Amino acid sequence: MARISTHVLDIAKGAPAAGIGVELRSAGDLIRESTTNSDGRTDAPMVVADRIAPGYYEMVFHVEAYLRAERPSEPAFYDDITIRFLVDNETGHYHIPLLLAAHGYSTYRGS
């Protein structure tokens, strides 16, 4: 079963980041919207299918409100963070985590 999934960790707090809106897009078209839960994950994977069409996808994380809530005395440095990635295996599992801090972020292909 092919999947695209995600989670967000607040690396400044060392904890999951809840309440962040996430969109999955392909060729500009919205595939799915979700919000991270108390574990920093979406309640279900962004895609579960027999096959996922190869090509570039974008995971858009709407982090501004989260960052403002965490540091109310300063403006959010980021509003949205977009991670563009390639699906080249139609039956693969693509896990796209976001490690977030107020002034930086990182990502990788997870398992």
Q: Which residue ranges make up each domain of the chain?
A: 2-107
111 pLDDT higher than 90: no
Sheet holding 29-35, edge to edge: 29-35, 21-26, 55-62, 80-87
Neighbours of 23 (CB within 10 A): 17
User: What percentage of the chain carries pLDDT values higher than 70?
Assistant: 100
For 2-107, give the CATH class.
Answer: mainly beta
- Per residue in 18-58, pLDDT (tens digit) is 999 999 999 999 999 999 999 999 999 999 999 999 999 99
Q: How far apart are CA 64 and CA 81, in angstroms?
A: 9
Which residues are CB-contacts of 66 (< 8 A; sequence separation ≥ 6)? 17, 19, 20, 100
Nearest to 88 by CA among 19, 15, 2: 2
| Cβ atoms of residues 2 and 50 within 8 Å | yes
* Reported pTM: 0.96
81 pLDDT higher than 90: yes
Side-chain-side CA neighbours of 24 within 13 Å: the count stands at 26
Q: Which residues is 9 bridged to in the sheet?
A: 16, 99
21, two tokens: 């809106």
